[in-house]
Structure 1
Amino acid sequence: MKSLDVRGMACPLPVVSVKRALESAEGELRVLLDDGAPRENVKRFVQGRGYQVQEEQIEGGFAFTITGAGSGSAKREAAPTERSGATVMLIGSDRLGDGAEELGRLLMKNFIITLLDMSELPDRIFFVNSGVLLAAQGSEVIEALEELGNRGVEVLSCGICLDFYKKKELLAAGGVTNMFTIAESMLQARSVVRL
């Protein structure tokens, strides 16, 4: 069994390292990783590709034993050649447009609430930079984001960004993700809407 230690690595290196190891591994892969975002991101990544994960708490973090053949999307020879059809929205600020901050915040709030009235919704909304403030406690759009989540929209915030703004413990809507997942989703999307 191949082993990999990704403890102490900054996002998105744990996911990238596991991806590379899965591309070259045959059989089981044992991964040592930190709790929190690395654990969540790696687990979501491998399970999303059809692998099974057995978790074990160890001193200093967690150990994953990853088994199964996966869906093939992690294999180099099965790299996607066409877009998946997903619509991805990337929100990089808690404001919409340039100009007065108060107006920009009002416009962003109205935009997100207006999404609830659209007949076609994005498949995923990624929040980066100050955009993560929209998914944290105190935001005026939490209810709208929760409703979007209930309608099948994946609402995900960048873990590094949440850490930077000291909002990780205050995330109120959706989940935490990493730059690898954001980049991969954008590159495989049918369309990307950037705000």
Structure 2
Amino acid sequence: MKTIDCRNMACPLPVVTVKRALESAGGETVRVLLDDGPSRENVRRFVVERGYAVEESSLSEGVAFVIGGVSRDEASADGSAGGRKVVLITSDRLGEGPEELGRLLMKNFIITLLDLDVVPDRMLFVNGGIFLTTEGSEVLEALEKLGNRGVEVLSCGVCLDFYHRKDKLRAGAVTNMFTIADSLLGDRPVLKL
């Protein structure tokens, strides 16, 4: 079993390193050492999404994942991502024009999603969009309800750090640029707001 140490790596290097290790492992088990926190969550999300089995254990400094099996991507004959829908939200406003109107439109869009039969599988919040997932947002309850319906609500960790809002995240989880790029460039329809 190969062991890789991803502790003390900046985002998104833990996910990229694990991806490369799994690709070169040829189906063999890989042990990964990680810091507890966002890197742990991001790597877990990455491997689970791809259908790998993962066992977690605590270490004195961080956690260890034992990742095994063949990924769903490798096992799938067509390699498709199943048509998942992704919404990329880059601002706390929708459209151009008066800020107050833009904020009202974005609020109404997110709340209206609750009344639709089809919801996105993943909502990515980047740049000013992270203000919708953090303390003080008027759509936190709606985002929580969407999360309960299976929508992944993910906020860019670099953006949260830039705006000093990481400790104020109230809806969903922190993600990294690898997951964002993978979501946007995969075989999934993307709606950018």
Q: Is the 8 A contact 1:87 1:189 kept in 2?
A: no
Task: Provide Cα deviations, 1:114-155, integer angstroms capped at 9, x if missing partner.
Answer: 222333221211111111110112100011111222222221
Q: Is the 8 A contact 2:84 2:121 kept in 1?
A: yes
State the Cα distance separating 1:88 from its structure 2 match.
0.8
Give the 3 Å change call, closer, same or farther, for CA 91–80 of structure 1 in structure 2.
Answer: farther
Alignment correspondent of 2:53? 52
Task: Provide Cα deviations, 1:72-122, integer angstroms capped at 9, x if missing partner.
Answer: 42x5x9796545211110001111123332222222112211222333221
Alignment correspondent of 1:13? 13
Relative to the length of structure 2, the TM-score reads: 0.87
Aligned-partner Cα distance in 2 for 1:80–1:166: 42
Relative to the length of structure 1, the TM-score reads: 0.86
Count of matched residue pairs: 192
Q: Unaligned stretches of 5+ in structure 1?
A: none
Aligned-partner Cα distance in 1 for 2:54–2:141: 33
Higher mean displacement: 128-137 or 49-58: 49-58
SS of 1:3's equivalent in the other structure is strand
Give the 3 Å change call, closer, same or farther, for CA 79–94 of structure 1 in structure 2.
Answer: farther
Task: Provide Cα deviations, 1:59-79, integer angstroms capped at 9, x if missing partner.
Answer: 43222222x213242x5x979
Q: Is the 8 A contact 1:84 1:188 kept in 2?
A: no
Give the counterpart of 1:163 among 161, 164, 169.
Answer: 161
Aligned-partner Cα distance in 1 for 2:138–2:8: 35
Q: Unaligned stretches of 5+ in structure 2?
A: none
Q: Is the 8 A contact 1:28 1:65 kept in 2?
A: yes
State the Cα distance separating 1:160 from its structure 2 match.
1.9
Aligned-partner Cα distance in 2 for 1:105–1:49: 35
SS of 1:62's equivalent in the other structure is strand
